[in-house]
């Protein structure tokens, strides 16, 4: 019975602490939305720079960067301090 009471008190305290920390954010007055005018217009976004994405880590003919994956798997023994796999 003693453990049940202490667990109930602990659960109540944790629930109260969660409510006390979440309440200010939940009760805060939301900011008024800013009206978008026709003068603002649409946002123009440039194309991303993908010029340097032509290496073995990003070339993925089957959806997975195969060459980078093979290189990573072959490098695992060295990172674990084991002898390196023999090169063929």
Domain presence at residue 27: yes
Evaluate if pTM is beyond 0.85. no
- Can you say how many angstroms the Cα of residue 56 is from the centroid of all Cα atoms in its chain? 24
CA-CA distance, 67 to 85, in Å (whole number)? 17
pLDDT (mean) for 14-32: 72
Domain presence at residue 37: yes
Domain presence at residue 60: yes
CA-CA distance, 60 to 54, in Å (whole number)? 10
For 17-41, give the DSSP string.
Answer: HHHHHHHHHHHSPPPPPPPPPTTT-
pLDDT tens-digit map of 48-86: 777 777 777 777 777 788 888 888 888 888 888 887 666
For residue 53, give its domain range. 3-80
CA-CA distance, 88 to 74, in Å (whole number)? 12
Q: Find out whether 68 and 57 touch, Cβ atoms under 8 Å.
A: yes
Domain presence at residue 86: no
Domain presence at residue 85: no
9 against 85, higher pLDDT: 9
Domain presence at residue 63: yes
Quote the number of domains for the chain. 1
Domain presence at residue 88: no
pLDDT (mean) for 11-33: 73
Q: Find out whether 32 and 25 touch, Cβ atoms under 8 Å.
A: no
């Amino acid at each position: 019975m003693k453990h049940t009471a202490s667990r109930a008190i602990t659960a109540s305290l944790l629930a109260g602490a969660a409510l006390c920390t979440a309440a200010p954010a939940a009760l805060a007055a939301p900011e008024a939305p800013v009206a978008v005018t026709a003068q603002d217009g649409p946002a123009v976004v440039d194309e991303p720079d993908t010029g340097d994405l032509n290496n073995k880590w990003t070339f993925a003919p089957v959806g997975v960067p195969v060459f980078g994956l093979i290189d990573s798997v072959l490098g695992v023994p060295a990172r674990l301090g084991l002898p390196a796999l023999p090169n063929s």
